[in-house]
């Protein structure tokens, strides 16, 4: 930031260009930075980044509108005391979140509509003092984990122009990773927050279903959907007494065979670091996790995505959809599933949930939290690789992600070091990450555990 002094010797800041991490930004506000300076810097960054990824924003608020919002915040709370918790914090939303008067496209222009009210979680952010910047690109109908299924254009990882960004909350991840906003609201049905978080070096949290209201958020698969956000670093959480005791399991070697070699190596580093931090590694039954994973796309649950469309719309308008999305839906319909098949899958889901309830627990005697630790994805494909096998690669990316939604687990994707990748002679350093999963309703306990492990996970060695 640039500092000057007025005629009376008071310090005046005329420029800001620092981190949008919420903790850092809050500290800057405490020493006199204004939201107006932050907005100016953000729009300079946004304009510059259009040269790199012009399809990031589906809707971008005008700088005049955003500056007016910043002026109003400063008018209402000129003094530092009493400011709301997100005062002056800029954010974006996935374009499945309703913002009054702004079209919601869900990545599908032919189904776009203009809402007359805003999503509840969006409004809560405004009420807490946050500043809305815009709506970001996403995979059509929130269906996919690659980021390669948008009619608005394909985004890439912020670490490599050759590698996928992840989806379906693609633009949300990019806007945070590139320092254009402090956080972004996204939705997670099968890993749609966690996967792009990993591919862009961010934290991505999937809470217990219903923890954050989905009112005003267009559903993808209603009984699996969760709403939360992307962050650079953990939010402050209410302190729990004592140091977190924890036990952790990992997938068996047979399940980890799907990972590319460098991911196996990095995952081993993480496991060793967790053990050295006091974690007790235990053998956990992987069966219910693997079986639940198959239900999302291998069973009937994928058909629920079609219920988000107007009745009869798909049969009459499917040629208007992205070709890969169309193929996914056609493949699901070709199974000719009946209500019997759906109920069978629901019964399986209930069975696997009961099994996992007895696995991911809190010990009554010592209070130890038992969690499952997995690589967030088994590999990081290039955009070209996905174009050759869009459905197959998408399915493989969910090897350690889908079951979290089916089982309604709490899941936090955490970046853990980087590794070198060479594609067509181009060298890129890509992020690796894990997901830590806890039982239903244990959101606070998992966040407390990860907060205590923050230094350990941050210090995971990069692979050279």
Residue 359's CB is within 10 A of a number of other CB atoms, namely: 18
Whether omega for the bond prior to residue 174 falls within 30 degrees of 0, making it cis, is no
Angle, vertex CA 184, rays to CA 121 and CA 96, nearest 5: 60
How far is 349 from 407, CA to CA, in rounded Å? 7
Catalytic pick from 94, 135, 178, 206? 94
- The answer to whether 265 is a known catalytic residue is no
Largest CA distance in the chain: 79
Burial bucket for residue 172 (CB in 10 Å: 0-12, 13-18, 19+): buried
Catalytic pick from 157, 177, 184, 192? 192
Catalytic pick from 92, 96, 118, 168? 168
How far is 335 from 301, CA to CA, in rounded Å? 12
Contact 61, 134 (CB under 8 A): yes
- The answer to whether 424 is a known catalytic residue is no
SS3 category, 248: strand
- The answer to whether 172 is a known catalytic residue is no
How far is 78 from 80, CA to CA, in rounded Å? 7
Q: Which residues have a Cβ under 8 Å from the Cβ of 425 and sit 6 or more positions away?
A: none
Catalytic residues: 94, 168, 192
């Amino acid at each position: 930031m640039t500092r000057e002094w007025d005629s009376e010797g008071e310090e005046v800041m005329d420029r800001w260009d620092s981190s949008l991490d919420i903790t850092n930004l809050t500290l800057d506000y405490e020493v006199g930075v204004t939201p107006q300076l932050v907005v100016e810097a953000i729009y300079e960054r946004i304009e510059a980044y259009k040269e790199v990824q012009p399809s990031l924003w589906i809707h971008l608020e005008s700088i005049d509108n955003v500056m007016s919002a910043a002026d109003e915040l400063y008018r209402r709370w000129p003094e530092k005391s009493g400011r709301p918790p997100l005062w002056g914090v800029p954010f974006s939303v996935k374009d499945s979140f309703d913002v009054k008067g702004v079209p919601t496209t869900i990545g599908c222009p032919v189904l776009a509509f203009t809402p007359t009210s805003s999503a509840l979680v969006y409004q809560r952010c405004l009420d807490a003092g946050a500043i809305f910047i815009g709506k970001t690109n996403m995979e059509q109908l929130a269906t996919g984990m690659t980021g390669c299924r948008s009619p608005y254009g394909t985004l890439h990882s912020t670490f490599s122009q050759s590698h996928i960004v992840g989806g379906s909350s693609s633009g949300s991840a990019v806007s945070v990773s590139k320092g254009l906003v402090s956080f972004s609201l996204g939705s997670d049905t099968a890993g749609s927050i966690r996967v792009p978080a990993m591919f862009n070096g961010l934290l991505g949290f999937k809470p217990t279903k219903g923890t954050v209201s989905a009112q005003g958020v267009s559903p993808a698969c209603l009984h699996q959907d969760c709403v939360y956000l992307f962050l650079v670093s953990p939010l402050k959480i209410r302190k729990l007494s004592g140091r977190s005791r924890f036990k952790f399991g990992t997938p068996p070697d047979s399940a980890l065979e799907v990972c590319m070699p460098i991911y196996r190596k990095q995952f081993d580093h993480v496991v060793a670091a967790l053990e050295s931090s006091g974690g007790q590694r235990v053998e956990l039954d992987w069966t219910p996790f693997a079986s639940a994973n198959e239900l999302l796309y291998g069973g009937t649950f994928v058909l629920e995505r079609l219920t988000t469309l107007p009745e009869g719309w798909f049969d009459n308008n499917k040629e208007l959809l992205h070709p890969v999305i169309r193929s996914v839906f056609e493949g699901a319909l070709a199974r000719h599933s009946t209500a019997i098949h759906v109920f069978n899958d629901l019964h399986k889901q209930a069975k696997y949930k009961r099994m996992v309830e007895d696995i991911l627990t809190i010990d009554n005697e010592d209070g130890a939290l038992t969690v499952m630790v997995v690589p967030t994805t088994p590999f990081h494909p290039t955009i070209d690789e996905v174009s050759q096998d869009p459905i197959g690669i998408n399915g493989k990316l969910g090897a350690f992600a889908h079951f979290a939604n089916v089982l309604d687990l709490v899941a936090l994707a955490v970046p853990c070091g980087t590794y070198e990748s060479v594609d067509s002679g181009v060298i890129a350093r890509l992020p690796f990450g894990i997901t830590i999963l806890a039982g239903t309703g244990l959101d606070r306990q998992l966040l407390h555990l990860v907060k205590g492990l923050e230094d350990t996970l941050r210090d995971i060695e990069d692979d050279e």
